Amino acid sequence: MKKYKYPLIYPRIYRSDKKEGIKVIESGQITMSKITKDFEKRFARYIGSKYAVMVNSGSSANLLATAASCNPLRKKKLNIGDEVLIPGICWSTSLWPLVQYGLKPIFVDVDVDTLNMNIDDLKKKISNKTKVIFCVHVLGNSSNMNEIKKIVKEKNLILIEDTCESLGSNFNKKKLGSFGDFGTYSFYYSHQISSGEGGMVVCNSKDDYEILLALRAHGWSRDGSKHKYYKKRYPKLDERFIFINLGYNLRPLEIQAAIARNQLKQINNFKINRKYNRDKIISLFQKKYKKNSFLSFVENSKHVDCNWFGLPILINNKFKHKKKMIIKEIENLGVETRPIISGNFLNQPAIKLLKLNDKKIKLKYSQEVDDRGFFIGINTQKSSLKILNYVAESLGKAFIKVCN
Ligand SMILES: Cc1ncc(COP(=O)(O)O)c(C=O)c1O
């Protein structure tokens, strides 16, 4: 693996996280147990949702939220062929559960300056088959959630928020992920908090919570509050193995919960540090390259207080054809880069394989984000001025070398 001077994120399992992890190993209770439950409670409180269910990844969280939305136990349930509005800038496992459940993704364009779903295009793409808005909050930022909530209410839709990149961001002081029927989160290593791998689904309905619990673990009843009822109703069954629903095994390890719980305690500090690092790189760059005509930094949308995942950057239009060379130069200087999620997802070969764009729609602005955008990491601890200056200068140097 390439060693970067400024990687996407520095190793971020800290001493106190290690202690919590070791305690779990020494206890012998490695599989999901009390710490997971406790972490779920704290997480729900932090988000401002009633319930939280921990899983082994953000991808599993999206799978679980989609599976629950389609579940026969749900009153307002999705059916095969129902249309789901999803942004063109999304992650693969935002999309795949929809396809796996026979739903029809309808791709919505984004705003270049926010990277998130464009509300006008969203409105245009609503049909009488639309049943879900599946937001993907990109890199800590979001669309206008008031507008989205208004549409959801008017059209009686389900709202799922893939918040895997935006834990701790607020829209109008309310946490992203808490606006919809389900909010999903990832604790993968570069995310706002991390347990290496891990994820969470939040919801406000007790019925949804019960469905999530069964689907997370084999479809059995024993994690839910209706277990007693099922025991009575099916006295001939072994009470430990009463299967009431479909199911997967998406459970996290107790060690993941212990580490993520410890990181959640520090999330406000992480957020401050991330913001400090981001703002410093920008101000150092702007001071040094006063007449910069190369790039712009993506700012938070109106009303959004971002817990930034990274520092998204847009190459100015006249240099966008040089993007590959610019990225190569930045990477050569030891600064790790990433595309904006996966760029315009319609360009991915799997879209063709799965025939997800038969009408050959084009997403002008998702393509523009793809053509012009990339991001660099920001760390959860305050970085030294020396390294932040190095990053700012590397950006400048790379652009000057390629574009001048
Ligand atoms: C928007 C989005 N959704 C879902 C995921 C999947 O999360 P995980 O890697 O924990 O499976 C990611 C991963 O980074 C993501 O960026």
What's the pLDDT tens digit per position in 296-337?
999 999 999 999 999 999 999 999 999 999 999 999 999 999
Which residue ranges make up each domain of the chain? 15-264, 267-403
Give, to the nearest 10 degrees, the angle between helix 254-264 and helix 15-27: 150
Cα separations in angstroms, 38 against 32, 188, 211 = 11, 20, 19
**Measured in angstroms, how far is the CA atom of residue 165 from the centroid of ligand 1?**
7
Residue 46, phi then psi, degrees to nearest 5: -60, -45
Q: Are 216 and 223 in contact (CB under 8 A)?
A: yes
Query: Based on C-alpha coordinates, what's the Rg of the chain?
Result: 22
Q: Which of 62, 134, 185, 186 to mutate to test the pocket of ligand 1 (most atoms within 8 A of CB)?
A: 186
One-letter amino acid identity for 265? K
Q: Are 52 and 201 in contact (CB under 8 A)?
A: yes
Residue among 181, 172, 239, 175 at smallest CA distance from 207: 181
191 in active site:
yes
* pLDDT at res. 1: 76
pLDDT, tens digit (0-9, with 9 covering 90-100), for 145-159:
999 999 999 999 999
Q: Does domain 15-264 sit in CATH 3.40.640.10?
A: yes
Cα separations in angstroms, 292 against 97, 169, 244, 288, 358 = 42, 29, 61, 9, 41
Beta bridge partners of 311: 376
The pLDDT confidence band at residue 4, using thresholds 50, 70 and 90, is very high
pLDDT, tens digit (0-9, with 9 covering 90-100), for 77-120:
999 999 999 999 999 999 999 999 999 999 999 999 999 999 99
Report residue 99 as tokens: 């396809």
C-beta atoms surrounding 233 within 10 Å: 12
pLDDT, tens digit (0-9, with 9 covering 90-100), for 139-190:
999 999 999 999 999 999 999 999 999 999 999 999 999 999 999 999 999 9
For the chain, percent of residues with pLDDT exceeding 70: 100
pLDDT, tens digit (0-9, with 9 covering 90-100), for 234-244:
999 999 999 99
Q: Which of 59, 89, 138 to mutate to test the pocket of ligand 1 (most atoms within 8 A of CB)?
A: 59
d(CA 12, CA 98): 32
**Measured in angstroms, how far is the CA atom of residue 228 from the centroid of ligand 1?**
36
Q: Which of 165, 169, 307 to mutate to test the pocket of ligand 1 (most atoms within 8 A of CB)?
A: 165
One-letter amino acid identity for 17? D
How does the average pLDDT of the chain come out, rounded? 97
- Residues with CB under 6 Å of ligand 1 are 57-59, 62, 91, 93-94, 136, 162, 164-165, 186, 188, 199, 341
pLDDT, mean of residues 343-368: 97
The pLDDT confidence band at residue 404, using thresholds 50, 70 and 90, is confident
- Which residue has the least CA distance to atom 10 on ligand 1? 58
Of 137, 191, 218, 227, the catalytic one is 191
**Residue 90 alpha carbon, nearest atom of ligand 1:** 1
pLDDT, mean of residues 392-400: 97
Ramachandran assignment for 320, one of left (phi > 0), alpha (psi -120 to 50 degrees), beta (any other)? alpha
**Measured in angstroms, how far is the CA atom of residue 164 from the centroid of ligand 1?**
5
Cα separations in angstroms, 45 against 48, 203, 380 = 5, 12, 22
Superfamily (CATH) of domain 267-403: Aspartate Aminotransferase, domain 1 (3.90.1150.10)
Report the predicted TM-score, pTM, of the whole model to 2 decimal places. 0.98
Q: Are 88 and 356 in contact (CB under 8 A)?
A: no
Report residue 68 as tokens: 């629950």
d(CA 74, CA 297): 43
**Measured in angstroms, how far is the CA atom of residue 397 from the centroid of ligand 1?**
32
**Residue 60 alpha carbon, nearest atom of ligand 1:** 11
Residue 322, phi then psi, degrees to nearest 5: -100, 15
- pLDDT surpasses 90 at 12: no
**Residue 198 alpha carbon, nearest atom of ligand 1:** 10
**Measured in angstroms, how far is the CA atom of residue 93 from the centroid of ligand 1?**
7
Cα separations in angstroms, 8 against 256, 376, 380 = 21, 6, 11
Report residue 382 as tokens: 């305050």
**Residue 186 alpha carbon, nearest atom of ligand 1:** 10
